[in-house]
Structures are given as C-alpha cells and as structure tokens.
Amino acid sequence: MRDVRNIIKNAARLGASKELVRKAVGKYLEPASQTGEVLEWCKCHASDIKDWIPLDQASLWEQALSFAEKMTLEAEATLQGLDVQLGGGGHYGLLYFLVRSIKPSLVVETGVAAGFSSKAILTAMHENGSGQLFSSDFPYCRLEQPEKYIGVLVDNNLKERWSLHIEGDRKNIPAIVSELQPGCVDLFHYDSDKSYSGRQFAFNALEPFLSDSSVCIFDDIQNNWHFRDLVKSQTRPWKVFEFGGKFLGLIHKASATSE
C-alpha cells in the first residue's frame, strides 16, 4: 500500500501522471515478444568483447575493467546505506572504455537510476578533460522523494559536464535534441524503456543527431526484436555482446556491411 500511496502522491507532485499512464498502458499494447527466439538470436550472434578490442587498446580495456571493479565495490557500499531498491547499471566498463577511447564531445544516455553508467561516462570525460553528457530518466515513483535517488552514485565534482532530465523519454528526448546540432552526438547509450516502441522512439529521435563516427549501445536486447530489426534495416556494422547473463547490441554509425 505504501508504494501505491507514493505513486499517487509523486504523480501529482511531479506532474508525472501522463507518463505513468503511458507506461502502464504501453505494457498491455506492446506486441507479445517471442522471447525464446530473441534470446536464441542473441546467443547465435554474440561474440567475445575481448576479441573486438583493438590490440593497441588492450591496456585501456584492462584499465576500464579495473575501473568497473572498483566502482562496483564503491557503489555497493553507497547503495547498502540507502535502504531502497534501485535499478542496476549497464556495461559501465565498456562505456568508460569507449569514452576514453573515442573522446566524444557529446553523449546522450537514457536510463540513469542510481547512476552507474552516468558515473562511468562522466569519470571518463573528466579524465579526458572534455565532453558533455545529456541524460534522460524518470523517477521511481514508488519511493519517497524518488528524484533524490537519481544519479546518487555520481560525484559532485563530475556534475558540471552533466545535463539531467527527469520527466521520461517522451518529454526528455525532444527537450535534449532541441539543444543539439545535427551530427553532434558521438555516443548514444539506451537503457530506459525496454519496450520495442520505447527503443524505436528514442533511436528515431536521436538518429539525425548522430555523428559520422558515433557508437550506439542498446542494453537488454534479448527483450524483443527491436535490435535485430534495426540492424537489418541499415548498413552499419554491429555487434552483440553478452554481459551479466543478458545481451547488449552495439552499432557504429560509419557505413559498412553489417554482419
């Protein structure tokens, strides 16, 4: 009952009623996914991420793994003291590696929660000495004052490079792209609404703003056919990697023959 009361109270306080209704209705309207077949497709196309890392960047990859291991321990200590359940992070070791490697001027991510991915991206930007992160999230309305938990893992000294939007992707993404120029996004990380329509909306909105050398990452692609359909419709190189018992998909913007 406390969760229900919090949802009602926060929906009114944050003006989030429409977004909550959209999410609830969307779950019923979403076509039934052939999860088993999607999972098999992911397994068949998955490759070892270590084989994808260039030899001349092997040391940077090891550094990224060390960063992720240390960050996991620090995050566990922080979250244990909060007494709330927040979503986990994506492959933040990979995100740290990519930001350190490609040195993006601008990154867009969806899905923040505690801030695992956000912290990895912002830490790498801090070490690069350049970059700006735009993030889209929506509070866990079942919690008391849920907005205070968004990005709780992100250190204050990293936030000067961070623009955080918390009204849900349908509002946040249009607001974010209104501030951007075409071709300016070098890295796009999707880890929010896992529905087919949610992923499609976000990618379609961001695609005109992707740079010629951009990288796009979709987490939890085993949930539905969106990633398979996306790569079939384009000529960009792509990869599938297993991480934490799930799968992520990676796409390059550069023109090439897909697998």
Q: What is the dihedral of CA 230, 235, 239, 240, to 10 degrees?
A: 20
DSSP state, residue 84: S
Residue 32 has what pLDDT?
Answer: 57
What CATH number does the domain located at 2-252 have?
Answer: 3.40.50.150
Is-contact 222 42, C-beta < 8 A?
yes
Structure tokens at 257: 């023959």
Domain edges within the chain = 2-252
**Residue with the two structure tokens 């799968």:** 247
Q: Could you list the pLDDT tens digit for every one of the 259 residues in the chain?
A: 555 565 555 455 556 556 656 655 566 556 656 789 999 999 999 999 999 999 999 999 999 999 999 999 999 889 888 877 777 778 999 999 999 999 999 999 999 999 999 999 999 999 999 999 999 998 875 667 778 889 999 999 999 999 999 999 999 999 999 999 999 999 999 999 999 999 999 999 999 999 999 999 999 999 999 999 999 998 889 999 999 899 999 998 654 333 4
